[in-house]
Structure 1
Amino acid sequence: MRVFSSVCSILMSLSALGLAASAARAEVEYDAVLTADLLHNHSGGLREGSRVMGNLDLSAAWSGQGGWDGFAYVLADGGGGFSERYSGDAQVVSNIDAPKGVRLFEAWLRKTGDSGRWSVTGGLINLNGIFDVQEAGALFLNASHGIGPDYSQSGPSIFPFSTLGLVGEWQASETLRLRAGVFDGVAGDPAHQSSFIGLKLGDGDGAHWVAEAEQGFDRGYVKLGAWTYTAAAERLDGAGLSDGNSGYYAQAKYDFYKPEPDGDRGVSGWVRAGKANKDIQAVETYMGGGLVWTGPFTGRDSDAVGFAIAHADFGQPYAEAAGVDLKPETTYELSYRYAIRDGLSVQPDVQYIRHPAGDPQTDDALVLGVRLRVGLEAFK
């Protein structure tokens, strides 16, 4: 907690400076996006069945003078449980699958240097909005294409529960960016998951550290990241607490086809790999990737079609604790986003899950779904 007491003091200083800066002329932009998933487990998994899940995002972005800006983000989740009840997979079919509740997810201030080469952000922060971000994978519904399960399983400050953090970023050269952050070791308030402000700093939380280097190159980038928790965690073999709750990841993105350098149209691909401590976490290694074609047809520049694979391998200690000879879980996903107009899209999606949750006794699952997204732009 000594580390986080220092972080909180820094955040208070940032807030005071930010409020002073807000006295100057500032601009605020508001946004709202409704996402709804209709999913049907056609066969395999735990049982056949359907479920509708909804998520409403309300945000306000503030831009002031002197290099100051801020962001506030409220999540309204209608409840999830599709993977838990139907498909039975560990990687989670839908990235909006979350416990019911209305939560303040983000509320931060950022100071950017006059040169634009450095910035410091403090407050309630979505870690996955800064670290382990994969733009090409954002098309897909499966949660593993947003942030790898090797990392997300550890409980960092990501959807739908966030916590206080402090992040610094520095542009070391024209193509190299370095970023590092420290967060409270426990995201949200585990005892009150539906609280609007689920923030509880406990003496045993410790801190969560993460660092990432991003090297850009013509048509793409490579990212290398590492993370760790300072608090000891429960071992899967029941031998008590252990240090070393940490891991690392690497990802790369490449634009294979880009007819307009500054446009969105084209074909992009990505790969991501990650590893966690098998003595503490269930998923030991992860490998994923895919291809996305944006603007596949003439006159349909905002449409996108893609195919992705997410492969999670469970560690031996977790398998022994479960008493099952677990197999790797692999999900194949095919998705097409049809843009009806700006801010309005419908997205048919098919996922085939081999060995859900690694259990060889569970039949492979076939999930059929469709996603509807409605934003404020649709009404302009």
Structure 2
Amino acid sequence: MRLPCLLLAAALAVPAAATETMPPAPPPKAKSEKALTLGASYTIDLAVAGRGSNRLHRLDRLDLTGALASERFGWSGGRLFVRLLGNSGTRPNEDAGTLQGVDNIEVDKDGLRLFEAWVEQDLGRGSVRLGAYDVNSEFYFTDSSALLLGPSFGIGGELSGTGPRGPAIFPYSALALRGEAKVGRSGLVRAAVVNADAGTLTDRGGLGLGFREGVLGIAEAGSEGPGGKLMVGGWAWSHRHDRLGKEGQARSLGAYVLAERPFGERLTGFARLGISDGRTSSFRGGWQAGFTVAPAPLGGKDSALALGLHQAFLSRGERSAVADDGLRRAHSEHGAELTYRERFFDFVAVQPSVQLIRHPGGLAEARPALVGTLRLGWEY
């Protein structure tokens, strides 16, 4: 636990320098002078996961977005956003055997889905958003970790593994009401109530509207601006869910803190720490830390280099389940990732990545999983 604490302290102690936000970022807002903004991207991952398998996995994702500003229609400060995702391919984590996953575009079911569809109203010093929503588009999010392929760098496992189908994060969204308010020069308060029945309109069962499973409440507050980001957040489920490794049900809750700071004009570091009660999920807490350099050393003007470390601590229920199978349990699953991205012609990106995960699956005697991935991307 010393590493994330030291990084958090360093991030807060070093004076910040202004720098541009690292890509990729949450869905862009449509400019007021342009009524309709469209976007499209296509990503292909070619991955090999070690531990005795030489299978080449192929995954792909089609991402289509549209943002419509309302000013030209007599509605001031409104915005409509829609996002379609199409995912297909094999599953490299079947070979890697990790609890957190190894590729952030891997899905358990292929198909085209309406992932986000919401309307937002600008209130001057804040905004309100209503519709099918991705929690990780704004909550528990750091720009400088978004280049990394490991799913744990998107949102902590102590939150992503909770709920009846997980929270409303990729590849499932949920009906949500989100409010946001700016405080002072850089202060920010954000909160959302999210339907616990996550899904999408195009999946079987559709987007849950009945709230039979209850809701997820999540909030974060802190400061965000050119000089960096420091946020403290908390979350809780309204309904009880099945306990892991024990009979009965329990209500799940947790908290997190994240820091992100630029160091000079090219380097941006991040550190995140999350905890939970651990009664209904595989993890009771974890941390992620690393940095992104953009442009990368010896790279082009649009290149980027990122290094990330992560560790997720197994919950008592997960450790008991491993022991019940006659296997020796580990206290955590942890690893590292190094990735580099280079852009060509402003719309083509090539990104190799290497990951090493120790104690995959929470097994003390499991061989480390070495995962190599080549990501190819096209953007419009």
Same fold (TM over 0.5): yes
Q: Distance in 1 between matches of 2:138 and 2:90?
A: 25
Equivalent residue for 1:320?
A: 320
Q: Of the candidates 172, 177, 187, which is equivalent to residue 183 of structure 2? A: 172
The residue aligned with 2:363 is 359
Q: Tell me the SS of whatever aligns to 1:139.
A: coil
| Paired residue secondary structure (1:38) | strand
- Aligned counterpart, 2:132: 124
Q: Render the CA deviation track for 1:269-325: whole Å, top value 9, x for unaligned.
A: 000010122221111111111011101246712100111111111012221123242
Alignment partner of 1:95: what SS? Answer: coil
Q: In structure 2, what is the Cα distance between the partners aligned to 1:344 and 1:91?
A: 29
Instruction: State the TM-score, normalized to the length of structure 2.
Output: 0.84
- 2:157 is matched by which residue type in structure 1? P
Q: CA deviation at 1:48?
A: 3.7
Measure how far apart 1:33 and its partner are. Answer: 0.5
Choose which of 260, 264, 267 in structure 2 pairs with 1:257: 264
Change (3 A) 1:194 1:109: closer
- Separation (CA, whole Å) in 2 of partners of 1:276 and 1:322: 20
Corresponding residue number in structure 2 for 1:369 = 373
CA contact (8 A) 1:94 1:142 kept: yes
Cα deviation, residue 204, structure 1:
3.3
Task: Within 5 Å, give how 1:29-68 maps onto structure 2.
Answer: 29-41=37-49, 43-44=50-51, 47-65=53-71, 66-68=76-78
For the Cα contact (< 8 Å) 1:278–1:318, is it kept in 2?
A: no
For 1:279-290, what aligned pairs fall within 5 Å after superposition? 279-290=279-290
State the alpha-carbon separation in 2 of the partners of residues 257 and 238 from structure 1: 50
CA distance in 1, matches of 2:296, 2:33: 43
Deviation string, structure 1 residues 194-217 (Cα, Å, up to 9, x no partner):
628831234631011000113136
Residues 103 and 196 in structure 1, CA contact (< 8 A), matched pair in contact too: no
Look up the match of 2:12.
Answer: none
Tell me, in whole angstroms, the C-alpha distance in 2 between the residues paired with 1:208 and 1:282.
Answer: 18
Matched, 1:345 2:354: no
- Matched positions, count: 337
- CA contact under 8 A between 1:40 and 1:49: conserved in structure 2? yes
Task: Report the Cα distance in structure 1 between the residues aligned to 2:350 and 2:193, rounded to whole angstroms.
Answer: 37
Give 1:163's aligned residue: 174
Write the distance in 2 (CA, Å) between the matches of 1:203 and 1:369.
39
- TM-score, length of structure 1 as denominator length: 0.84
- Match of 1:330? 334
- Using the TM superposition, give the Cα deviation of residue 241 of structure 1 relative to its aligned residue in structure 2, in angstroms: 1.4
Shift in CA distance, 298/309, structure 1 to aligned 2, threshold 3 Å: closer
1:225-266 CA-partner distances (Å, limit 9, x unpaired)? 1011101111123221122x11111100011111xxxxxxx0
User: Deviations 1:314-355 (Å, cap 9, x if unpaired)?
Assistant: 012221123242331112101000111212100011111111
Q: What are the residue-to-residue correspondences of 1:72-83 with 2, within 5 Å? A: 72-83=82-93
Report the equivalent of 1:91.
Answer: 100
Q: Which amino acid aligns with 1:201?
A: L
SS in 1 for 2:185: coil
Is the CA contact (8 Å cut-off) linking 2:337 and 2:355 kept in structure 1? yes
Q: 1:208-357 maps to which residues of 2 (within 5 A)?
A: 208-216=216-224, 219-243=227-251, 245-258=252-265, 266-297=266-297, 300-323=300-323, 324=327, 325-357=329-361
Correspondences of 1:190-209 after superposition (within 5 Å) = 195=203, 198-202=206-210, 204-209=212-217
| Local SS of the residue matching 1:156 | coil
For 1:330 and 1:342, locate their aligned partners in 2 and report how far apart those are by CA, in whole Å: 35
Instruction: Report the counterpart of residue 193 of structure 2 in structure 1.
Output: 182
CA contact (8 A) 2:354 2:370 kept: yes
Instruction: Give per-residue Cα distances to partners, 1:173-192, cap 9 Å, x unaligned.
Output: 11110010001112117xxx
For 2:211 and 2:379, locate their aligned partners in 1 and report how far apart those are by CA, in whole Å: 41
1:90 aligned counterpart, secondary structure:
coil
Equivalent-residue separation in structure 1 for 2:226 and 2:78 (angstroms)? 30
Structure 1: unaligned runs, 5 residues or longer: 1-23, 259-265
Contact 1:101 1:196 in 2 (8 A): no
